[in-house]
Structure 1
Amino acid sequence: MDAIKQKIQSIADAHHCEIVAMETDKDHVHILLGYDTTDSVCNIVKTLKQETTHHLWQRFGPFLAKHYWKKRIFWSDGILCL
Structure 2
Amino acid sequence: MLDAVEWYNKSVEYKSNHNVVYSCKYHVVWCPKYRRKVLVNGVDIRLKKLIEEICGEYHIDIIEMEIMPDHIHLLMEVDPQFGIHKAVKLIKGRTSRVLRQEYGWLRSRLPSLWTNSYFVSTVGGAPLSVIKKYIENQKNV
- TM-score, normalised with respect to structure 2: 0.51
Q: Which has the higher strand share?
A: 2
Q: How does 1:14-53 map to 2 (within 5 A)?
A: 14-53=57-96
> How many positions carry a matched residue from both structures?
76
* Displacement after TM superposition at 1:37 (Å): 1.6
* Displacement after TM superposition at 1:66 (Å): 3.2
* Displacement after TM superposition at 1:4 (Å): 0.5
Is 2:96 the counterpart of 1:57?
A: no
Structure possessing the higher relative contact order (Cα contacts under 8 Å, 6 or more residues apart): 2
- What 5-or-longer segments of structure 1 have no aligned partner? none
| Identical positions, percent | 28
* Displacement after TM superposition at 1:57 (Å): 1.1
Root mean square deviation of aligned Cα: 1.4
* Displacement after TM superposition at 1:49 (Å): 0.6
Q: Give runs of ≥4 in structure 1 deviating > 6 Å.
A: none
Q: 1:37/1:65 Cα in 2 relative to 1: closer, same or farther (>3 Å)?
A: closer
* Greater C-alpha Rg: 2
Is 2:7 the counterpart of 1:7?
A: no
- TM-score, normalised with respect to structure 1: 0.85
